[in-house]
Amino acid sequence: MSDASPTTSPVRVLVVDDHPVVRGGVVGWLAAQPDIDVVGEAGDGLEALALVAEHAPDVVLMDLRMPRLDGVAATGRIAAAHPGVRVLVLTTYDTDNDIVRAVEAGATGYLLKDTPLPQLADAVRAAARGETVLAPPVAARLVSRMRAPAVEAPTARELEVLAGVARGLTNVEIGRELFIGEATVKTHLLRVFAKLGVDDRTRAVMVAVERGLLPSPGA
């Protein structure tokens, strides 16, 4: 049930998603709300930037994985150029890396696409009021992350070595590239394993990517 009064200006919303069926369903539901005005829809981040500049929405519902310009990059640009616009992420992805990157880019909330439509409309209204909106699983992940004991972060050199591993290089090849000995490469890897809580090269790369320490493959 909406708590908006008849005299309240409708919340102006831009919906951004590269899947037309998903986007159409969200647009249809929100447009049916008397206190929400869908001012546009976009299929990628670049299109979203142009429409934000054109329509000045109150809230942008932003997907994350899109062609040309992804949701995190688009969120960062919107937050920098249009600080009054609230970006509410709506995605299927709930990894720590995705959540943290979106929040750090300036997103005011993070919802999953299985959110019931009535709750989605309420979240849009809350975001327009400047409130932080988080899906329960996302909130739980952030709380767990904050409560986790602090661990020493890998050094820049250790991450350089791990980046070589991610590219499929051997210890000898990594050492040659970084002008260090093979034994030094092994030492760096052992330290990274300890800091990431893993015991093999593959898992070390996976955890580093999940934590945003290394770029995702193909990024």
175 & 112 share domain = no
126 & 169 share domain = no
The answer as to whether 3 is a domain residue is no
Give the CATH number for residue 183.
1.10.10.10
124 & 18 share domain = yes
Tally of structural domains, the chain:
2
Instruction: Report the amino acid identity of residue 27.
Output: V
160 & 143 share domain = no
Of the candidates 110, 181, 179, 100, the one whose C-alpha atom is nearest the C-alpha of residue 146 is 100
The answer as to whether 218 is a domain residue is no
53 & 112 share domain = yes
116: containing domain: 11-147
The answer as to whether 200 is a domain residue is yes
Cα–Cα dist 25/55, whole Å: 21
Residue where one domain finishes, among candidates 110, 126, 147: 147
110 & 56 share domain = yes
SS (H, E, C) 81-107: HCCCCEEEEEECCCCHHHHHHHHHHCC
Taking only the tens place, the pLDDT of each residue in 158-206 is: 999 999 999 999 999 999 999 999 889 988 998 898 888 888 899 999 9
132 & 166 share domain = no
Cα–Cα dist 198/177, whole Å: 24
Residue where one domain finishes, among candidates 95, 118, 147: 147
Cα–Cα dist 36/30, whole Å: 6
80 & 35 share domain = yes
22 & 129 share domain = yes
- Say what the pLDDT of residue 1 is: 44
29 & 87 share domain = yes
- Say what the pLDDT of residue 176 is: 95
Taking only the tens place, the pLDDT of each residue in 134-154 is: 888 888 777 676 666 666 789
Taking only the tens place, the pLDDT of each residue in 33-51 is: 999 999 999 999 999 999 9
Give the CATH number for residue 124.
3.40.50.2300
Mean pLDDT of the chain: 89
The answer as to whether 217 is a domain residue is no
Of the candidates 129, 139, 70, 131, the one whose C-alpha atom is nearest the C-alpha of residue 105 is 70
139 & 172 share domain = no
Predicted TM-score (pTM) of this structure: 0.66
Rounded alpha-carbon distances, angstroms, from residue 141 to 96, 110, 136, 147, 164: 7, 12, 9, 10, 30
Cα–Cα dist 89/100, whole Å: 12
196 & 123 share domain = no
For residue 87, what are the β-bridge partners?
60
Residue where one domain finishes, among candidates 122, 147, 172: 147
